Amino acid sequence: MYAIREALGAFKRAPVLTGLASAMVGLALSVVGLFGLATYNLQLALTAIEERVEIAVYLRDGTSQSDIDLAQTSLSQMPEVLAVRFVSKREALERAREEMKDFRELFDDLGENPLPQSLQVTLRPGDRSREVVERISAAAMTYPFVEDALYGREWVDKLFDLQRIGGATAATLGSAFGLVAALIIGTALRIAIFARREEIYIMRLVGATNGFIRRPFLLEGAIAGLIGGVIAWGLTWGTYRGVYAFLFKVAWIPGSWIIAGLTAGAAFGAIASALAIRRHLREV
Amino acid sequence: MHVKKGEFAFLTGHSGSGKSTTMRLLHLVERPTEGEVRITGYSSDRVTQRDVWKVRRRVGFVFQDFRLLPGRTALENVAFVLEVTGTARKQITPRAQRLLAQVGLAIKAGQLVHELSGGEQQRVAIARALANDPYVLLADEPTGNLDDRATRGVMDLFRDINASGMSVLMATHDLEIVRRYPSARVFELDNGRLVYDSAES
């Protein structure tokens, strides 16, 4: 109760100082926020591409319906498989016509349909890794009536490489930005507390326990962090709107990320305050 | 050097003679390199830095430069000590009011301390020092920043406080003040040593 009143009182008594600390926290966190926005969109783009990872299992002409059914059932029973769809010779031709309009006449001139029937295997999200793709194609190849199992090895490899590089970059840059933000927040709150060291000494001199002195400062740090988080949220949102309107369509980061960011801001503010105040509590 | 219960004592000496250091030792702001400081039943040998608050709650302290919390009212400054010691919320404001009335500042309770005169600020500080019902009141050059009139006001307060049974130890280099209180005990320090004690002469 007392701590809450004190913490709020500090904002009233020194609005410039606490405001500046909040603004610094806000700017530091908005760098992290923008990075999050970029990372999230990159991740979305990669996931969209990843959804197109599928395996085409080509069947020999004249494979009996029961063999096809057998393969279809057993493939779809594999845990990583989302669905197995049968594509008949005729459907394959239709599709080819759709996708390659320039060659439509060529297709019309064909006497006999040269395209094979196939099973189109799609994978569950999260299981679209190189290993899974390879394992399933290998499994499909064991059937004698399977001509070939293809998954566009080259571009799938490239996609997975890209994902790995993206992930590593995000982790490295993310932690670097996070560290810089942490240092800035720490410094800002250190300055704010240094300006009030006299107050801390007086509290010690009149017999306040360390915990009693610390609590309002922790809360104040948390509030400054939270306000900083809201500022960062606003700045990131503004940038997002700007990019969306003038450059290209991007997605807004999910709410859970925002909540995590705000919580991190508040926690950081409290921790930074605790560290900054420790020194002053020892002095008198 | 030993100050008895209920005694009024002056600690005198030139600047640099060790008065302030003695006061800081009594307040456990500094620790003795040798010897021992005993105050209100606590010994400097035993009290850890984490626990000094226990000692400080039993001692009232008045500083030359007041040391009030800036940006807060007179009432808030006194109330703060009561908050610190966990006084019930309902009692805090009335008690702080009463303490301010005791030092003659009831009508200035709502004013920010930096708007008050030096004498008034020192009286707020005295009210604050009394808030814990201390055994001893320690004052380090409490009149050093005050004019004659304010000095007299502060000294009168000290006399009243002492009359109610509280020990008072006041460090000052101003022998004029000391002379005005012939009944008080006087210690004199020189170069960190006790060179005179009125009780022994």
Residue of B nearest to A10 (CA): B71
| pLDDT for A1 | 73
Q: What pLDDT, on a 0 to 100 scale, did the predictor assign at position B12? A: 95
Phi/psi zone of residue A277: left (φ > 0), alpha (ψ -120 to 50 degrees), beta? alpha
Nearest to B81 among A206, A209, A282 (CB): A206
pLDDT at A2: 77
Task: Work out the average pLDDT over A53-75.
Answer: 84
**B91 — contact with chain A (CB < 8 Å)?**
no
Residue B52 lies in a domain: yes
Count CA atoms closer than 13 A to A89's CA, side-chain side: 10
A247 touching chain B per CB within 8 A? no
Domain membership of residue B1 (yes or no) is no
Residue A93 banded pLDDT, cuts 50, 70, 90: confident
Pull the structure tokens for residue A269: 């503010």
pLDDT at position A169: 87
What is the Cα–Cα distance from B61 to B156, expressed in whole angstroms?
17
pLDDT of residue B25: 92
Which pLDDT score is estimated for B168?
95
Does B150 map to a domain? yes
Task: Provide the pLDDT for residue A20.
Answer: 83
More confident residue, B124 or A113: B124
Selected for mutation to probe chain A from B24, B65, B66, B67 (highest A CB count within 10 Å) is B67
Chain A residues lying within 8 Å of B70, measured CB to CB: 198-199
Which of A97-106, A229-238, A272-281, B168-177 is predicted with the least confidence, judged by mean pLDDT?
A97-106
Residue A214 touches partner B, C-beta closer than 8 Å: no
- Give which of A109, A243, A264 is closest to A175, Cα–Cα: A264
| The token pair that represents B103 in the structure block | 């030092």
Residues 6+ apart with CB under 8 A from B98: none
ipTM of the complex in this document: 0.84
DSSP symbol at A148: E
Residues 6 or more apart in contact with residue A161 via CB below 8 angstroms: none
pLDDT of residue B77: 93
Q: Taking residues A118-140, what's their average pLDDT?
A: 82
Q: Kindly state whether residue B3 falls inside one of the protein's structural domains.
A: no
Question: Whole-number mean pLDDT of chain A?
Answer: 84
CA distances (Å), B145 to each of A203, B60, B107, B122, B172, in order?
22, 19, 23, 9, 12
Higher pLDDT, A106 or A88: A88
Secondary structure (DSSP) of B22-85: HHHHHTTSS--SSS--EETTEETTT--GGGHHHHHTTEEEE-TT--PPTTSBHHHHHHHHHHHT
Q: Is A138 on the interface with B (CB under 8 A)?
A: no
Q: How many CB atoms lie within 10 A of CB A115?
A: 18
Mutate to test the interface with A, among B26, B48, B56, B133 (most CBs of A within 10 A): B56
Identify all chain B residues contacting A202, using CB atoms and an 8 Å cutoff. 67-69
Residue A228 structure tokens: 């900083």
- Interatomic CA distance for residues A211 and A200, integer angstroms: 12
Rounded Cα–Cα distance for residues A193 and A181 (Å) = 18
Give the per-residue pLDDT at B127.
95
Cα–Cα dist A94/A204, whole Å: 84
Calculated CA dihedral for residues A258, A263, A266, A272, nearest 10 degrees? -110
Q: Which pLDDT score is estimated for B155?
A: 94
Q: Are the beta carbons of A205 and B61 separated by less than 8 Å?
A: yes
Does domain A54-150 fall under CATH 2.40.40.20? My reply is no
Q: Do B128 and A206 touch (CB under 8 A)?
A: yes
| Residue B122 domain flag | yes
Is B26 inside a domain boundary?
A: yes
Contact B56 A207 (CB under 8 A): yes
Report the pLDDT value the prediction gives residue B136, as an integer from 0 to 100: 93
- Name which of B29, B54, B83 is nearest A284 (Cβ-Cβ): B29
Q: Is residue A109 pLDDT above 80, yes or no?
A: no
Rounded CA-CA distance B42/B37 in Å is: 8
* Chain B partners within 8 Å of A201 (Cβ): 67
Separation in Å, CA A282 to CA A3, A279, B48, B183: 21, 6, 11, 40
Dist. CA A182–CA A170, nearest whole Å? 17
- For residue A195, what is the nearest residue in chain B, using CA coordinates? B70
Instruction: Say if B120 falls within a structural domain.
Output: yes
The answer to whether residue A45 neighbours chain B at the CB level (below 8 Å) is no
Question: Is residue B110 classed exposed, middle or buried when 0-12, 13-18 and 19+ CB atoms within 10 A define those classes?
Answer: exposed
Answer whether residue A102 shows pLDDT above 80.
Answer: no
Query: Do B56 and A205 count as a contact with CB atoms less than 8 A apart?
Result: yes
Question: Which residue of chain A has the CA closest to B87?
Answer: A2
Given pLDDT bands bounded at 50, 70 and 90, which one contains residue A87?
A: confident
- Per DSSP, B160 falls in state H
pLDDT given at position A99: 79
Give me the domain span that covers residue B104: 8-200
Checking if the pLDDT of A153 tops 80, the result is no
Q: Is the pLDDT of residue A92 over 80?
A: yes
Name the one residue in this structure whose structure tokens are 């703060």: B80
Q: Closest Cα partner for A240 from A226, A229, A254? A: A254
CA distance B179 to chain A (A): 30
Start and end residues for every CATH 3.30.70.3040 domain found in chain A: 54-150
Is pLDDT above 80 for A261?
A: yes
CB contact, 8 Å: A282 with chain B?
yes
pLDDT score for A179: 86
Judged against a pLDDT cut of 80, whether residue A244 lies above it is answered with yes
Domain count, chain B: 1
pLDDT of A66 > 80? The answer is yes
CATH number where B194 lies: 3.40.50.300
User: Hey, is A140 helix, strand or coil?
Assistant: helix
Single-letter code of the amino acid located at A109: D
Work out the percent of chain A whose per-residue pLDDT is above 90. Answer: 1
Mean pLDDT within A198-220: 88
Q: Is B196 on the interface with A (CB under 8 A)?
A: no
Looking at residues A109-119, what average pLDDT do you find? 80
Give the contacts of B21 (CB within 8 A, at least 6 positions apart).
B30, B192
What residues in A contact B54, CB-CB < 8 Å? 207
Ordered per-residue pLDDT tens for chain B, 201 residues = 888 899 999 999 998 899 999 999 998 888 999 889 999 888 888 888 888 888 899 999 999 999 998 889 999 999 999 988 888 889 999 999 999 999 999 999 999 999 999 999 999 999 999 998 999 999 999 998 899 999 999 999 999 999 999 999 999 999 999 999 999 999 999 998 999 998 887
